[in-house]
DNA sequence: ATTGGCACTCGCGACAATCGAGTGCCAGAG
DNA sequence: CTCTGGCACTCGATTGTCGCGAGTGCCAAT
């Protein structure tokens, strides 16, 4: 019973602080949130909560604010799912349905997510390794430099320039390209190596050595070093939460420009069906220690094609943000799955 | 003679203010910059300069700062070219020479430019219309939806999904694609319409109608609505100049996320051989009224392939920035021209 | 266990005093 | 006519003081 109310107090503190961005005191807490007890009682609970590390006070004679641990408890046990409003659902649908292109889908959804959550949104392009091959095109730039163009079933077009040890003429390249295409068409990229494994044996003898080298470079470029891409939107929203700028905003913006950092971030949390929340210090990236990340995976069926999420201040409407992230992930998954 | 010295004073004010970011007074001005006159004389000149609108004082009893008009005069008449240091030249070279890909070139150069100027850098991808066709690939997604992939001589790969009125089977598409390729290979994209004009007449009769529709959609997608792309880097540098945040930074970040705005910006100033400077109110975009833009075009020979530049505070090291922009533009132009 | 009361802390805004950088003007020298 | 030193004046920034009020912790009473 007492335990119960303490949690109510914590929930009230989180919700109030998220709205007001001001340390919340015992009086307004007892008044505004209908806990049927007096401020003094609330104070006792707050004292206990502080003892246990769920809340803290910025200075004496100020109210309390949640700690990372407090937010964590809130997210894990205290917040229900906040369903999206009808207007929001409609917005998602109308915003995304006009998309034709993969690029279009990604760009639209990242902007949408930024707009819905009023935070910085991140959307990963569908991973190459999870996609299937729809077409491979090889164009010669010089006899020893080829441009590989891979088109996947998600509509992603991936290009890569590779160097080959021995020159090849256009005609041969064309033939080899045909061979590769028939072997790989419709295959998932992760299965590509085995799909092409015995191609050379079956090929015309004069093509074999070329085919071998070509297969080697193609596999290396597309399977071993797949390039992940990411779209970002809503950085302007960072100015919304009046965090102190020079110290926090700068490294944050720098981190957001690093694809590597974002990819790591998204890569760690792209479970389907689960919205992962990383609060403050739980993030492994230094620049994100004072922010929270809400992310999930999207895709069809069992395997995740990619991940998406938002980055925002720890003082965040977690239920709302989680709902938005989940909804957008679902739509994007459907869109890219059906395509 | 007096005119001469007044301009010296203005130059000194601009240079000092750019370094210190503090209104500069007559005393330090007479001391630090070796104008061989007393502070009182400088005061007279400053008074005149203020009268003419080149400088202003934020408040009484503060030093003077340059106005947009002052910066303009400085840029037009007072600043020599500041040659890049050996280290900077080397940095440019080593930073860019490892690039393999077009994407790689653009990404590297935009980061390089941001790093050199310590400002926000913008690099436009080579315009489609200025490029020549190296290869066109058409992949069927559904019988009525095609994915066009255009590969240009600058290495840019452009994709577009188009709908066609009547279904086409894979085989026909392949044939048509071949016809298109032989007709367009090596042609500049602006010349494409005339290059394909009499293709249908020469084609096999059964292909003609399909060819006609295909040509129509291809031309529309690639020539009439060419999609420009842009890369951005260094937004973190915006926090460097301690402009007031909520009011200035937010709309600025928003504007920078709008490709349209950036394209307009770059499009207006992509002259080759001339570094264009837009100071404060000279910018047509509201959000950029308190910033300056330094930009130029890059390319080979006479025609500009694209533009690049930086966005920064009006209080900017114009000579240094202009030198960096020019140098990077030259390197990028060479790189994409030679490729 | 809960509550009302009470003393204590401390951040914050208001107000006053001071400081000093910078200006404008003027009279005198070259 | 130009330059210079001197001087009074302005005004933003800094510092210090003070009172207010929100908020806390503790305690005795229910």
Q: Which is more confidently placed, B123 or A205? A: B123
Whether the pLDDT of residue B142 is over 90: the answer is no
Dist. CA A257–CA A278, nearest whole Å: 20
Distance in angstroms (rounded) separating the CA atoms of residues B45 and B55: 11
- The backbone torsions φ and ψ at residue A289, rounded to the nearest 5 degrees and listed phi first, read -65, -25
Summarize the confidence of residues A18-38 as an average pLDDT: 87
- Which region among A120-124, B7-11, B195-199 has the lowest average model confidence (pLDDT)? B195-199
Q: Do A149 and B137 touch (CB under 8 A)?
A: yes
What's the mean pLDDT when you consider all of chain B?
88
> What is the pLDDT confidence band of residue A1, given thresholds at 50, 70 and 90?
very low
Question: Whose C1' is closest to the CA of B63: which nucleotide?
Answer: C22
Kindly report which listed range (A8-17, A175-184, A316-325, B256-265) carries the lowest average pLDDT score.
A175-184
Of B172 and A113, the one with more pLDDT: A113
Predicted confidence band of residue B261 (pLDDT cuts 50, 70, 90): very high
The answer on pLDDT for A187 being more than 80 is yes
CA distance A196 to chain B (A): 22
Q: State yes or no: pLDDT of A2 exceeds 60.
A: no
d(CA A216, CA B112): 33
Predicted confidence band at A223 (pLDDT cuts at 50, 70, 90)? confident
pLDDT in tens, B325-336: 999 999 999 888
Least CB–CB distance from A161: residue in B101, B134, B251 = B101
What is the predicted pLDDT for the residue at B339? 54
CB contact under 8 A, B161 and A234: no
The separation, in Å, between residue B25 CA and nucleotide D6 C1' comes to: 18
**pLDDT tens figures, A63-78:** 899 999 999 999 998 8
**Nucleic acid strand D within 7 Å of B27 CB:** no
Model pLDDT, residue B143? 82
Q: What is the mean pLDDT of chain A?
A: 88
Strands B291-300 and B303-313: antiparallel
CB contact under 8 A, B246 and A254: no
Residues of A in contact with B253 (CB under 8 A): 235-236, 238-239
Q: Where do the DSSP E strands lie in B125-240?
A: 133-142, 145-152, 157-163, 230-233
Mean pLDDT for the stretch of residues B162-168 = 83
Q: What angle do CA B191, B195, B196 make, to 5 degrees?
A: 125
B38 in contact with nucleic chain D (CB within 7 A): yes
Looking at residue B35, what is its pLDDT? 80
| B137 vs A242 pLDDT, higher one | B137
Contact A147 B155 (CB under 8 A): yes
Nearest CA in chain B to A252: B236
CB contact under 8 A, A135 and B134: no
pLDDT surpasses 90 at A159? no
Contact yes or no for A235 and B238 at CB 8 A: no
Interface test with B, best of A103, A156, A236 (most B CBs within 10 A): A236
pLDDT given at position B1: 41
The reply to whether the CB atom of residue B37 sits less than 7 A from any atom in nucleic acid chain C is no
CA–C1' span, A122 to D15, in Å? 47
In the prediction, which pLDDT does A74 show? 95
Measured CA B239 to C1' D14 distance, in angstroms: 26
- B321 vs A132, residue with greater confidence: B321
Q: Chain B residue with minimal CA distance to A161?
A: B101
Q: d(Cα A123, Cα A127) in Å, to the nearest integer? A: 11
Contacts of B170 (CB under 8 A, 6+ apart): B140
pLDDT band at A201 (very low <50, low <70, confident <90, very high): confident
- Residue A89 phi/psi, 5-degree rounding, is -60, -45
Interface touch B239/A257, C-beta < 8 Å: no
Percentage of chain B surpassing pLDDT 90? 43
User: What is the count of residue pairs from A and B with beta carbons less than 8 Å apart?
Assistant: 86
Q: Output the furthest CA–CA distance in chain B (Å, rounded).
A: 90
Please indicate whether residue B103 or residue B110 has the higher confidence score (pLDDT): B110
Please check whether residue A268 is in contact with residue A280, taking contact to mean a CB–CB distance below 8 angstroms. no
pLDDT, position B201: 78
Antiparallel, parallel or unpaired: β B133-142 and B276-279: unpaired
B172 touches strand D (CB under 7 A): no
Looking at the partner chain, which of B103, B236, B240 has a beta carbon nearest the beta carbon of A257?
Answer: B236
Protein CB footprint (7 Å) on chain C nucleotides: 1-5, 9-11, 20-26
Q: Chain B contacts of A157, Cβ < 8 Å?
A: 147, 149, 157, 159
Supply the DSSP symbol for A275: -
Q: Is the pLDDT of residue A272 over 60?
A: yes
How far is residue A153 from each of residues A42, A134, A158, A216, B220, measured CA to CA in Å? Answer: 57, 5, 12, 23, 24
């Amino acid at each position: 019973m007492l335990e119960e109310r303490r949690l109510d107090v914590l929930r009230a503190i989180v919700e109030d602080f998220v709205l007001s961005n001001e340390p919340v005191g015992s009086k307004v807490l007892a008044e505004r949130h209908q806990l049927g007890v007096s401020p003094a009682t609330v104070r006792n609970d707050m004292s206990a909560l502080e003892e246990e590390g769920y809340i803290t006070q910025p200075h004496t004679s100020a109210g309390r604010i949640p700690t990372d641990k407090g937010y964590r408890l809130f997210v894990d046990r205290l917040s229900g799912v906040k369903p999206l409003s009808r207007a929001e659902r409609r917005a998602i649908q109308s915003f995304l349905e006009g998309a034709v292109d993969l690029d279009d889908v990604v760009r639209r959804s990242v902007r949408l997510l930024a707009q819905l959550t009023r935070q910085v949104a991140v959307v990963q392009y569908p991973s190459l390794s999870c996609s299937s091959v729809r077409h491979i095109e090889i164009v010669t730039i010089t006899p020893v430099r080829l441009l590989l163009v891979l088109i996947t079933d998600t509509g992603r077009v991936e290009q890569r320039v590779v160097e080959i040890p021995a020159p090849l003429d256009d005609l041969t390249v064309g033939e080899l390209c045909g061979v590769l295409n028939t072997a790989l068409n419709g295959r998932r990229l992760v299965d590509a190596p085995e799909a092409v494994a015995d191609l050379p044996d079956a090929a015309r003898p004069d093509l074999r050595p070329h085919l071998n080298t070509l297969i080697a470079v193609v596999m290396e470029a597309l399977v071993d070093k797949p390039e992940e891409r990411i779209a970002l939107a809503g950085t302007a929203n960072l100015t919304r939460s009046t965090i102190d700028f020079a110290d926090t905003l700068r490294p944050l913006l720098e981190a957001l420009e690093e694809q590597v950092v974002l990819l790591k971030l998204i890569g760690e949390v792209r479970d389907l069906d689960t919205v992962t929340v990383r609060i403050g210090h739980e993030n492994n990236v230094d620049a994100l220690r004072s922010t929270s990340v809400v992310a999930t995976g999207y895709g069809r069926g069992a395997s995740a094609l990619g991940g998406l999420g938002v980055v925002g201040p720890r003082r965040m409407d977690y239920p709302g943000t989680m709902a938005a992230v989940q909804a957008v992930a679902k739509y994007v998954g459907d869109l890219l799955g059906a395509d």
